[in-house]
Amino acid sequence: MVLSFLKKSSLSLCSLVLASTIYPLAEAKGTSEVIVKQEVLNKRAIGRGSIITDDVRVRTGPDTRYNLAGSVKQGSSVEILERQGKWTQIKNDELTGWISEDFISQQSIFINQNKEIPAHGMVTDTINVRTHASLDGEVRGKIAKGSKIKIVTAEGDWLKVSYKSAYGWINKEYISFSGDISEEQKQVKETPLNGEVVIKQNGTHLRSSPDVHSRIISRTDVGEKFPIIAAASNGWYKIRLKNGQTAYVAGWVVSITGKTTQMKKTGAEQYLSDKLIVIDPGHGGKDRGTKGVNGTLEKNLTLHTALLLQDKLETAGSTVILTRNADDYLSLPTRVGVSHRHNADAYISLHYDHAKNQLVSGVTTYYYHSYQKSLAASINKSLGSSLQVVNRGYRFGDYYVIRENQRAAALIELGYLSNAGEESTVSSERYQEDVSDAIFAGLESYFR
């Protein structure tokens, strides 16, 4: 949140929740050991996911104070048994336990013992959202055609979905699942190819399809090598991972061994390629920014959003500079100085908002100078069509980092941490992916 010429920032702290499937709680100050025995071996899985970070610690309960049960490796496929707050209970052949939701990408939802569907989808026609999995359920609202949805679980022909910081039920007849092949993807042709890709940067994402917005399967380190299976016509390589799974990587973010031709940028990449974009995660260090009702710190959340946006832009060929990439304090003149020193093509300042009225919600995009207005308008339009939160529009704002900025610059308030429901929404991994996608699309539109 920006107060006067400043702004507050933060990431969510996972609060201690005693799960129904709890195990020994590690001793902590003022905390006695709790043991709640409950059989979990026969618990039915609600979905399947993939581990996206290496050597993830698995705990016996949904909090860092619980004992370690073991670890799972990057790329591992696991069953999802339950979710509590920011924690997910997982199971594989070796162990059962809890991990942070930040380390798993949900791939599917189990409808029954024999069928599973993708965990995300798109609404094919405007549809009612109901309180129960039945036509008798009260209508809570509507989801517009083309909206992206996150599916939580399924019951017969009904899907439980995230809806306005809560949950509701919709009929699956009106959903096109993210696992379906889109028309755009159908146009991407793959040609068998031999060779090897070499990762050039730590943290490079490997994805489920040849698209910067597709699900992340794994993160990689510089120097890692993967055999090439095929070349996609949109500039991506299909590769084989060490565990035998396949994935895609953008051809322009890797180097190639042998005689294989280096891929060139296509699609959105042609507009974002060679652009220098400065991303400014609001607050940091001693300046925590605002604090959410449930403890989310703005300074942490802005950095998380910035890192996701950085990855997408760099995959598209942009040069991205972060004003900070850790929990560091920076003065406002220092932040603006980064924009001027690098002659930025665009400067994006990320924040989360706060209001005394805890019912206030939504995203707002600000500009100060007339030469910044078109950037704010492009980002606002993309945010308004991509997120299931209120879009408060774009407007003039007297904030230092845009007022003193001689480059195209926008300051974005990405949701209200003072609203408990919205705090939960904006700190979810799904929202973080969606909002970084929306800003990415807004920048693409601006540079067209």
pLDDT tens digits, residue range 333-367? 999 999 999 999 999 999 999 999 999 999 999 99
Evaluate if residue 6 carries a pLDDT over 60.
no
How does pLDDT run across 11-49, given as a tens digit for each residue?
333 333 333 333 333 434 333 333 333 445 556 777 788
Q: Are 444 and 271 in contact (CB under 8 A)?
A: yes
Place of tokens 């993160």: 219
Between residues 338 and 268, the one the model is more confident about: 338
What are the residues whose beta carbons fall under 8 Å from the beta carbon of 265, sequence distance 6 or more? Answer: 235, 252, 273, 316, 317
Alpha-carbon distance of 423 to 117, in angstroms, equals 28
Alpha-carbon distance of 389 to 400, in angstroms, equals 27
Domains of the chain with CATH codes:
120-177 (2.30.30.40), 185-266 (2.30.30.40), 271-447 (3.40.630.40)
The pTM score is 0.54
How does pLDDT run across 126-165, given as a tens digit for each residue?
788 888 888 888 888 888 877 777 777 777 778 888 776 5
CA triple 18-22-26, angle to 5 deg: 85
Per-residue model confidence (pLDDT) at position 141? 84
